[in-house]
Amino acid sequence: MNTFAELIIVFIILIDLALAVTGSLSSCIKLVALQGVVAGILPLLAMHGSPHFRAVAFAAVIIALKGAVFPWLMMRARDRSGARKDVEPLISYPASILLCLGAFIASSWLGSRLPLPETGVAWIVPASLATIFTGFLLITTRTKAITQVLGYLVIENGIYIFGLALFVEQPMMVELAILLDVFVAVFVMGIAIFHISREFDHIDTAELSELSDWRRGEDGR
Amino acid sequence: MEIVKPLVQLLAALLLAPLLPGVINRVKAFFAGRRGQPLLQLYYDLAKLLRKTPVYSRTTTWVFKAGPAIGLAALAAALLVMPFAGRPSALSFDGDFVYLIYLLGLARFCAVLAALDTGSAFEGMGASREMQFAVFSEPGFFLGLAALAAVTGQRSLGGMFGVLTGDSWRVAAPVLALLTASFFIALLAENSRVPADDPNTHLELTMIHEAMILDHSGPDLAYILYGAALKLWLFGSLIASMVLPSHSGAWARDAAMFLLVMLGVAAAVGVTESVMARLRLTKVPYMLITAFAFSALALIFQMGR
Amino acid sequence: MITRALLLVPLVAGTLAFLLRSDAARRALLVWTARLHFLLTALVTYLHLGPGSDPGEPGWFAFDNLGLLFLGVTSLLFLGASHYAVRYLELEKRDPGEEADGGFIFNNAPEAVFTGCLLLFLAAMTAVTASRHLGMLWAAVEATTLLSAPLIYFHRTRRSLEATWKYLLICSVGIALALMGNLFLGAAGLKTGAGLELEGLLAKAAVLDQPLLKAAFLFLFVGYGTKMGLSPFHTWLPDAHSEAPAVVSALLSGALLNCAFLGILRVSGICAAAGLAGFTGGILTLFGLLSLVTAALFMVGQRDYKRMLAYSSIEHMGIMALGAGLGGGAVFGALLAALSHSLTKAGLFFTSGLVLAAEKTKRISEVKGLWRRAPRTAALWLAGFFLITGTPPSGVFLAKFIILKEALEQRHYALAAAFLLSLAILFAGMARYFISMTFGEREGKSGEKPYVEEPAMLLPAAAFFVCVILAGLYLPGWLGSLLAGAALNAGGKL
């Protein structure tokens, strides 16, 4: 069973790489959703013995949220904002993928250095760290507001996988509260994107630069 | 008897190689709803070309004539180290995968030199593109073979595929899957198949490999076409050995299974070509970098195991 | 029971605010919820400090001294803010909004959204102060971010939208890192079964896995530090604080930053119990000083007075982090700084709203001779300046003095010098703006209609300022013991 879990981990890393090279916004959204679903399946596989009801129900909630609700919200935000269909990166795709690969190498080094408890599933810690890094990559090198939200979701996926790796058992209430927060965050950000597109006629965050202490020009008079 | 077997394998490879492009073409024709060329079309073409007298432009030198012959020789020599159905190959020594890569490089180098020797603008353009993609594809391929060496703990190709069994897949499935994917991309790129290049294109501006060989004719062209078939066989057998690592022990059965899988690989190439559009020229390096990333990931996985 | 009521009252009221149709009813709801919340807070404080009664309800939500201190500050601020907000909303309804420096008309967000989010925001902050489980604390802090974002975007202008977006994204990502820290913390106690509840962690602090605990602290520090506005994670703060309506800025600066500080104090308390006080103290001191210096550098050459106040908040966050980092008696100073900064800064932000209403601009250079146009506002503005820069007698002065004393006692002379130098730059920088705004020569504004100063909007600021002055003169016994107990909770000594 662990080999299967390892395959899933590899799959997650491949999705990271794919996110780094994908140029189309909608496939980016789908990839993030796919990653969320795959990450949601993971705990059921890594578990020993028969899964109990609570874990299955929780996994189902996560899969439904990440696999259906979030992509739906994102797609809606994309359609309403009338954004161009590509992600418009600030750096070239090869640079993105090399950065992602470098991040994975760094994460595996870090994963071997961290005095973490034994995980049973190989590569789960580096994979989660690399996923978090990919999220940061999406946030910092893509200009669209939507891709920044996607980056946030990828970071969240990474942290979720990291939590699985560490076996940190949080009470159900806390897990649900965290999930609710993430849901509301995506929801609120979706609304904000809608407002941004209406106010500015674009959702390019590189253009959101009216407020700054560094720009002296027009505001200083 | 054991001495004869590798030679028989080599002979089989040399004889059967031109079958693969035929299979690919039939698969593509099936997807396009056509009947397509005969399966043995390449054999007929080769026979026809070999009978013809080559035409040489006055501007060309001996380099142009030597190119195809050396290229074919290099590829045939590369085939020597390639195992067949997990059996020991005709030639095997430690680090022979480096030898394989250098021979492939030599073949490419000769083709490029011959193309440049014509002084034609199109051939120069094709040569430049060929080299540009090679720059991206070779590191990935090399890294992939190195990762395979790390997985199996063997340093010769024969050894690597000799110890690759179903158990290796059970233990190191992610690594092997990544490597297979990487090799498949390398196959497509190195053999000018569809996402990277279009073997059927008729517009010089869009050609890569085909542009390089525009001026060759007669037996020279036959050498190049045959060499291309050998190269396809080489990469195909690499992938076939990856995905079919079972050894029943009976030579004939292994060989038959292997040939079946080779046909499967050719069919897979045909399907890929049918369902994918050719990538824009500037996007091809992305695909090759992806292959590099796969190989690199596989290597990292293996190192940290 | 009371704890539960404290959480539920604003939660229910917030939900109700979305449903109510009438503006008047909603405003009344806001004020009465604030009053009820304050009463309950007073009650729970009384019960906690009262003789012979500190059972502490077991569970995820309960109050210790530290939580109670921050709850008190939050509740008091909200009480003032609710009275201010009601009048503010009435005025906003009467006059159509006009972009302060752009000159175009904009809409406001629906009042139901504003009031509802304000009340839910209070609920989330209450949950932060009451959380005994670090996972719950995280969830509550993230909830405060999400609930305050619509508040910043009350004036629907491009600038506030930009500020909201930056705030949402930077804080959400920052807090995601804090979640990572929580996981590390859980892993640190995995072998000993410490869990993520404060009691368990504190009891088993000595046997926690130290490298993992350090990693946990780093992540939590970066996460909550982003929310707290410590440099270099502060970039969202001046934008959000300058673009939000005054009442929201006051709550963000006075209450929300404290909540993030509470998160850091919780984990540094655990680290101190585990014997890592040197490690956490070093980091807190470093980033505290960095924030102080950053604030001082950016204070020179500010053009926008609300941004100026925002940088002053960064300064005080730096001072608080510095105090917490120095440990010992300075923790008491840091908590006193939190208390007095909250009240002073909230008062200043309230006043800045009045200045904006009177002058219709946020540019410092365009406000001159405020005392002629709005004398009482000008008086408050100037008083706030003296209080926030730590002129005695005030709680701010006392807090800075305690922290400086501790730094000297620990022989951190360079640190003390840098601290004093930054304070001097800040004082000089702010003095220039405040004095030119209050007294400068008023020119070419003869024909403007008189500005009516609303007593309901002046009063909260005045009351807060009086409290701060009183705290500087005399700390009541109960407050002193509350602060001392809170300092103990945060890993300090007396």
Using CA of residue B74, residue B77, residue B81, residue B85, what is the dihedral sign? positive
In this prediction, residue A218 has a pLDDT band, given cuts at 50, 70 and 90, of very low
d(CA C489, CA C494): 11
Is cis: bond before B83, omega within 30 of 0?
A: no
Res. B170: pLDDT tops 50: yes
Domain range list for chain A: 2-207
Across the interface, whether the CB atoms of A10 and B305 are under 8 A apart is answered no
Only one residue has tokens 């949601």, namely A40
Domain that includes residue B190, residue range: 4-304
Non-local CB neighbours of C239 within 8 Å, separated by 6+ positions: A211, C162, C163, C166, C167
Residue C169 contacts A where some CB pair is shorter than 8 Å: yes
Using CA of residue C182, residue C187, residue C188, residue C190, what is the dihedral sign? positive
In this prediction, residue B15 has a pLDDT band, given cuts at 50, 70 and 90, of very high
Record the tokens describing residue A202, joined without a space: 């674009």
d(CA C221, CA C226): 8
Record the tokens describing residue C456, joined without a space: 């309901």
CB neighbour class for B290 (10 Å; exposed up to 12, middle 13-18, buried from 19) = buried
Tens-digit pLDDT profile for residues C269-317: 999 988 888 899 999 999 999 999 999 998 888 888 999 999 999 999 9
List the one residue out of A85, A26, A70, A31 whose CA is nearest residue A203.
A85
List the one residue out of C32, C33, C35, C29 whose CA is nearest residue C17.
C29
List the one residue out of C471, C481, C459 whose CA is nearest residue C354.
C459
If you average pLDDT over residues A122-127, what whole number do you get?
82
How close are the terminal C-alpha atoms of chain B, in Å?
40
Across the interface, whether the CB atoms of C173 and A155 are under 8 A apart is answered yes
Across the interface, whether the CB atoms of B304 and A126 are under 8 A apart is answered yes
Q: Is B260 helix (H, G, I), strand (E, B) or coil?
A: helix
How distant is the alpha carbon of residue C128 from its chain centre? 13
Res. A114: pLDDT tops 80: no
Compute the radius of gyration of chain A from its Cα atoms.
Answer: 19
d(CA B223, CA B71): 8
Record the tokens describing residue B169, joined without a space: 């897949």
Non-local CB neighbours of C282 within 8 Å, separated by 6+ positions: C325
- Which pLDDT does position A166 carry in this prediction? 78
Are C251 and C346 within 8 A, CB to CB? yes
B near C: at least 3 beta-carbon pairs less than 8 Å apart? no
- Which pLDDT does position C280 carry in this prediction? 92
The set of chains that have 3 or more CB pairs under 8 A with A is B, C
Helix (H) or strand (E) holding A18: helix A2-21
Tell me how close the Cα of A211 comes to any Cα of chain C, in angstroms. Answer: 6
Determine which of B60-69, C24-33, C317-326, C472-481 has the lowest per-residue pLDDT on average.
C472-481
In this prediction, residue A49 has a pLDDT band, given cuts at 50, 70 and 90, of low
What is the total count of domains within chain B?
A: 1
Residue A108 contacts B where some CB pair is shorter than 8 Å: yes
What amino acid is encoded at C164 in this protein? T
Across the interface, whether the CB atoms of B173 and A126 are under 8 A apart is answered no
What was the ipTM of the complex prediction? 0.89
Tell me how close the Cα of C31 comes to any Cα of chain A, in angstroms. Answer: 26
Whether pTM > 0.80 for this model: the answer is yes
Angle at C256 between CA C252 and CA C257, to 5 degrees: 95
- Which pLDDT does position C441 carry in this prediction? 80
Chain A neighbors of C191, CB-CB under 8 A: 117
How close are the terminal C-alpha atoms of chain C, in Å?
32
Record the tokens describing residue C403, joined without a space: 């922290």
What amino acid is encoded at A66 in this protein? K
Residue C62 contacts A where some CB pair is shorter than 8 Å: no
A near C: at least 3 beta-carbon pairs less than 8 Å apart? yes
In this prediction, residue A217 has a pLDDT band, given cuts at 50, 70 and 90, of very low
**Which of C162, C187, C243 is the closest to A116 by Cβ?**
C187
- Which pLDDT does position A221 carry in this prediction? 35
The set of chains that have 3 or more CB pairs under 8 A with C is A
Tens-digit pLDDT profile for residues B117-156: 998 888 888 899 889 889 989 999 999 999 999 988 888 8
- Bridge-partner residues for A142, per DSSP? A89
- Which pLDDT does position C98 carry in this prediction? 58
d(CA C286, CA C304): 28
Determine which of B174-178, B185-189, C464-468 has the lowest per-residue pLDDT on average.
B174-178
Are B299 and B146 within 8 A, CB to CB? yes
If contacts are CB pairs under 8 Å, which of residues 354-373 in chain C contact chain A?
Answer: 363, 365
